[in-house]
């Protein structure tokens, strides 16, 4: 199993688990809370078939990565990603982030610039800024996040059960676009995550990414479901698309938070179309 050392806590190495498949233009897929890189299973085959090299990894604290008690903030998450990019010597790569992963996309470019990055995709992402403040009236009241963190602390297993109902809008899609078994599989991944990470990541959801988004200068696609109950499209996707110069917003009709699963065909078609253009242009240029 491939691991990348990104730090150390006392006597223990902090390692990220990753998978690296295919060839062609690299695409790095960054998962959401409280899942792992395996949550991209409906996207990986489509991207491989389109001729991409596809890299997934587990955020620290989740999946098969180490479970330290430190580093649950976006500067560290972006640094972890940067170490993976460096280790794999990626060039001309695309960053695709779902939910929390949208924060890594924004902070990575905000912190390290876009050198080597060809395109960016944010799906149901937490940017630009989810917390309601005097200069951000469109945000969500802080008491909501406090309540979530208290619920995680009290009984994260019960919290995850409720969370996934709204993650997939199971009252609408269970038995149609998602099975009970798939929801259970997500719960199992969440339950195996670090208790520390499950709690500590909640305040990161309302990180202020507005300055990061202003630095994104590569073609950007924003995908968001208009029935997202976890990260409302009006507070997130619509505003992100406006703040990133030239970004295109694709709204998934009736889509819940996890459109990458429930509406995978629509999401994959948009991804392949958007990410495939650069490869096609280079191939055409090479033939001249």
CATH of the domain at 46: 3.40.50.1820
Share above pLDDT 90 across residues of the chain, in percent, rounded to a whole number: 95
Q: Which one is catalytic: 65, 212, 228, 260?
A: 228
Segment 236-288, tens digit of pLDDT:
999 999 999 999 999 999 999 999 999 999 999 999 999 985 454 455 555 55
Residue 135 annotated in active site: no
From its phi and psi, is residue 40 left (phi > 0), alpha (psi between -120 and 50) or beta?
Answer: alpha
Residue 66 annotated in active site: no
The whole-model pTM stands at: 0.95
Q: Which residues contact 18 (CB under 8 A, 6 or more apart)?
A: 2, 3, 4, 37, 55, 56, 57, 58, 84
Q: Domain count of the chain?
A: 1
Alpha-carbon distance of 273 to 221, in angstroms, equals: 11
Q: Which one is catalytic: 58, 257, 260, 263?
A: 257
Residue 228 annotated in active site: yes
Segment 144-188, tens digit of pLDDT:
999 999 999 999 999 999 999 999 999 999 999 999 999 999 999
Q: Which one is catalytic: 99, 118, 198, 260?
A: 99
Structure tokens at 1: 């199993």
Residue 234 domain boundaries: 3-287
Length of the chain in terms of residues written: 288
């Amino acid at each position: 199993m491939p691991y990348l050392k990104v730090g150390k806590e006392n006597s223990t190495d902090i390692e990220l688990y990753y998978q690296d498949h295919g060839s062609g233009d690299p695409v790095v897929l960054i998962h959401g809370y409280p899942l792992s890189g395996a949550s991209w299973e409906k996207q990986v085959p489509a991207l491989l078939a389109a001729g991409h090299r596809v890299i997934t990894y587990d955020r620290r604290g989740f999946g098969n990565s180490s479970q330290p008690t430190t580093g649950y903030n976006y500067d560290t998450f972006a640094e972890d990603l940067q170490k993976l990019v460096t280790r794999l010597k990626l060039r001309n790569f695309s960053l695709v982030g779902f939910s929390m992963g949208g924060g890594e996309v924004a902070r990575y470019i905000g912190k390290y610039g876009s050198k080597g990055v060809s395109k960016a995709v944010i799906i149901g992402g937490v940017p630009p800024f989810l917390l309601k403040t005097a200069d951000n009236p469109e945000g969500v009241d802080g008491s909501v996040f406090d309540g979530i963190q208290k619920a995680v602390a009290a009984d994260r297993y019960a919290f995850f059960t409720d969370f996934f109902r709204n993650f997939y809008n199971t009252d609408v899609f269970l038995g149609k676009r998602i099975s009970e078994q798939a929801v259970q599989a997500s719960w199992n991944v969440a339950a195996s995550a670090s208790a520390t990470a499950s709690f500590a990541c909640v305040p990161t959801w309302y990180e202020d990414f507005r300055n990061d988004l202003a630095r994104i200068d590569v073609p950007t696609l924003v995908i968001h479901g208009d029935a997202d109950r976890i990260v409302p499209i009006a507070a997130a996707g619509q505003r992100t698309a406006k703040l990133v110069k030239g970004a295109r917003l694709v709204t998934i009709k009736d889509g819940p938070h996890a459109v990458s699963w429930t509406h995978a065909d629509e999401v994959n078609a948009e991804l392949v179309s958007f990410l495939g253009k650069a490869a096609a242009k280079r191939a055409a240029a090479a033939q001249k």
